[in-house]
Amino acid sequence: MKQQGVHPEDAEGTSDSSSRPGSGKGEKSGPSGPDARGATAADPGDVAHIDEVEGDEPLLPARVHRPSDLMRLLVGVLAVAVLLAVAAFAHGTTSGLEQDITKGTGQAPDLLIKVAGLASSIAILLVPVAFAVERLIKRDGLRIADGVLAAVLAHGVTLATDLWVAKAAPHSIQDALTQPSPGDVHALTDPVHGYLAPVIAYMTAVGMSRRPRWRAVLWIVLLLDAFSMLVTGYTTPFSIILTVLIGWTVAYGTLYAVGSPNVRPTGRTLMAGLRHVGFRPVTAAREEAQTDTAETGDRGRRYFVTLEDGRPLDVTVVDREQQAQGFFYRAWRNLTLRGFATRSSLPSLRQALEQEALLAYAAIAAGANAPKLIATSELGPDAVMLVYEHTGGRTLDSLSDDEITDDLLRDTWQQVRALQSRRIAHRRLVGDAILVDRSGTVILTELRIGEIAAGDLLLRMDISQLLVTLGLRVGAERSVASAVDVLGPDAVADCLPMLQPIALSRSTRATLRRLARERAQREREAVLEASRQAKAARSEAGTDTESASAKPDKKAVRAEQRAEKRALDDALEEAREEDLLTLIRHAVLRIRPQAPVEPARLERVRPRTLISFIAGAIGAYFLLTQLTHIEFGPLIANAQWGWVAAAVLFSAASYVAAAMALLGFVPERVPFVRTVAAQVAGSFVKIVAPAAVGGVALNTRFLQRAGVRPGLAVASVGASQLFGLGCHILMLLSFGYLTGTEKTPSLSPSRTVIAGLLTVAVLVLVMTSVPFLRKFVVTRVRSLFAGVVPRMLDVLQRPQKLVTGIGGMLLLTACFVMCLDASIRAFGDDSTSISIASVAVVFLAGNALGSAAPTPGGVGAVEATLTVGLIAVGLPKEVAAPAVLLFRLLTLWLPVLPGWLAFNHLSRKAAL
């Protein structure tokens, strides 16, 4: 393999749009399709077009926003936050560290300190200026402008930080970042160095890190300056670290905001690189660009290159910008998936080149058909190229259904079998990675993210991915049959646990979601058509009855309604289609009935779990800050146990009220005692799921098991939720108004209530004015309350049911408010009591936040909100914190065991 590098100066200035091919008028678009890939070499004597590039970008953007810069910005902000947290809460550690460093540096010779200080003071200004002059000589003024902007912003941030530390920061942070100045004991040193942070921001923004000599010189100067400042007592270790972090963070924030100069190599740079590795190119035609996604955007730009002599070439060029595409998606996969995500979210260009070269050689050595790699090279410091022998053909996605024959399917599986015989995982067996040449031979491309010495998990995932890829084109039966024919039934059956969306490629998951939406739409249309036919038939029957002048029979009406329901159920059953993954499972199970079907656990952490953990940690932090100064021993000893018993009774009564609130919107007969048991079971369910999700799912399931049709069960729960939301808002406004008038003789509400109403109004206006938010809210509300209006018409015909439902909601809120009030009275006295209206406002606000929080049961969010709310309305912190803990203990944690027993009992009785 030939491997050489293009001298950086050959790629210098490639971001200048005036030198880019394709920017002029009349530029030809490159050939595409099989004719282009199969073109013959140009006339060897045609040297006049040796730098001709067809189909290159018309005009590359002068600047690009790199995800890697954003990631470094976020890391820098996090590092600053961690440093300040350590300085704030680990005062003893910071003091000991400063003493140790002062003691160690105090032994340095005086002459060395003076020489280091003088040299660093001069060099710290001269080195950046010298680098700027060198860049200006090479006409790279944009980088210098970026560096100056970053330095100015860093200086502003240092001034703001100095002001914050001096005026508002906790004393522990002040002690960690400052110390008495050696020249004036009454003055303090600067928390952040006003000149050091801008220099660091400048050197980072101009890209000195990519030039080793300049980088080494500048870091030596910075270390000497920091050493001299530290020894002479003009700074602290934490101040130096904070200065470096601020400069580094501001630099990457500036680069991401204004964009980095685009150093992507153009086609002419590619031609120069090919000559450096011994080829004599004539033309380079850029292949048609496909839509870049987070999964495919890092595959590089591809060129079809003709030579003066010999076969044409396929060349792939990868630069840093393309490589950074999809970084956050890959990082998320690495975080959440077990053992089969990409090993590095952002590998270096050298690592990417070596990985793809290794996979190309390994695939051919295994006997699989893969593009033959014949040369690699660097194109300057920011790009690499890989040169392959030309392979003409079309991708599987571009073939028509008639062209995908059984022989083609078997050939595809044979290539996969060759890879798996040598433990090579392809990792992306989708339609555009399978190439079919003119003779019908299958060639596997896109080996970049593959893996050698792969484990069984990755190999089985390759099989499941290809089953789905082929199934999307030829159906589940043919896909499974061709796989069994080549791999054998056992190998195919072993992949069933991997047959789940999370194990498939991103493009495949998107296709499956689109097909699912289309199936759901067809099912809805079928049900609506059946409903229209049933209504038309019933109206005709009603017309015949009226013409016969006969009174309608109630039994006949009920029979017609039951027949209509059966017709809707039959129409839904007939229209229901199984998804592709289910069809593949059934096809495999018909061959191997004993095959494992339980999906493997592939997720290390789910998004909901991560969000719940973060929200719970934040809530726990705020709660613990309220508890640190409370002495619980005397508080519990003086607790009034009579009020504790009252709180227990109010908590138990809430389950009866919840059952009333649900049954009031269910016209069908449902056992009341069993409904109460279901609400008790809900106290167990809401611990393992968010409150707004777990309760809805459990009640819907309970009503279905009680004989209520699925659609009506969902509508009943939706109606209950809708009325509950309305009652909640009305009570919050009412009690808030009463709270505002308690301490004033007039009936005008408090400023807090007015501010709250204005905030809600602003949020509503924002949601209605932003199309994305408006569509999101409307879709969620429509899906939650679909069918509620017809269900409410049924309930309105039974006033007793409606009174039961609304009364249950009011009673449920009253039970919780009285439970919280009893918890407050259990730890307080008459001098610390607050009004019921204030307690109600605090509870309603906390309950709303708990329902919106992603944590199970609103853990963390509810406790923090209730505690802060009670303190805000005048309750002492020493009473508010234990009262909230008692309230949550009675309403959330103690009912878990009875809820688990009720859940198991109802499950055994087939009621859940």
Residue 734, number of CB atoms within 10 A of its CB? 14
Burial 805-820 (b: 16+ CB within 10 A, else e): bbebbebbbbbbbbbb
Strands 313-319, 180-181: pairing is unpaired
In the prediction, which pLDDT does 749 show? Answer: 45
- For residues 912 and 906, give the distance between their C-alpha atoms in angstroms, rounded to a whole number: 6
Which pLDDT does position 737 carry in this prediction?
62
What is the largest distance, in Å, between two alpha-carbon atoms of the chain?
120
3-class secondary-structure state, position 236: coil
Is there a contact between 867 and 623 (Cβ–Cβ < 8 Å)?
yes
Q: How far apart are CA 795 and CA 805, in angstroms?
A: 10
- Look-up of token digits 């999964």: 295
Distance of alpha carbon 684 from alpha carbon 662, whole angstroms:
18
- Non-local (6+) Cβ contacts of 747 within 8 A are 741
The whole-number pLDDT of residue 635 equals 60
Whole-number pLDDT of residue 412: 95
DSSP track, 434-497: EEE-TT--EEE---TT-BSS--HHHHHHHHHHHHHHHHHHH-HHHHHHHHHHHH-HHHHHTTGG
Q: Residue 436: what pLDDT?
A: 93
What is the C-alpha separation between 368 and 426, in angstroms, rounded?
11
The ranges of the chain with pLDDT < 50 are 1-50, 55-56, 58, 290-297, 341-342, 549, 742-751
Burial category of 404 from C-beta neighbours within 10 Å (exposed 0-12, middle 13-18, buried 19 and up) = middle
* pLDDT for position 301: 81
Q: Tell which residue, 231, 245, 98, has the closest CA to residue 161.
A: 245
N- to C-terminal Cα separation, the chain:
66
Per-residue pLDDT of 717-750, as tens digits, reads 877 877 777 777 777 777 766 665 544 444 344 4
Q: What pLDDT, on the 0 to 100 scale, is given for residue 28?
A: 35
Gap between the Cα atoms of 109 and 26, Å rounded: 71
- The CA distances from residue 881 to 614, 622, 838, 864, 901, in Å, are 22, 11, 16, 9, 30
Tell if the pTM clears 0.75, that is, is over it: no
Which residues does 48 contact at the CB level (< 8 Å), separation at least 6?
A: none
Please give the angle made by the CA atoms of 117, 121 and 127, to the nearest 5 degrees: 130
Q: Are strands 442-444 and 260-261 parallel, antiparallel or unpaired?
A: unpaired
The rounded distance, in Å, linking the Cα atoms of 800 and 302 is: 73
E runs forming strands in 38-137: 52-54, 63-64
Q: Report the 10 Å Cβ neighbour count for 570.
A: 11
The pLDDT value given to residue 720: 80
| Bridge partners, residue 260, by sequence | 64
Whole-number Cα distances in Å, 534 to 443, 529, 574: 55, 9, 16
Which value, in Å, is the radius of gyration of the alpha carbons in the chain?
35
Taken in order 500, 502, 503, 506, the sign of the CA dihedral is positive
Task: Tell me what pLDDT residue 705 has.
Answer: 83
Secondary structure of residue 28 in the 3-state scheme: coil
Residue 180 bridge partners (DSSP): 188
CA distance 374 to 383: 18
| CA–CA distance, 130 with 152 (Å, rounded to integer) | 19
Q: Quick one: DSSP state of residue 317?
A: E
Q: Any alpha helices (H) in 232-348, and if so which ranges?
A: 237-258, 267-276, 320-324, 327-336
Task: In whole angstroms, give the CA distance from residue 549 to residue 543.
Answer: 10
- What was the pLDDT predicted at 33? 40
- Encoded amino acid at 320, one letter: R
Which amino acid does the sequence have at 600?
A: A
Strands 52-54 and 281-286 come out as parallel
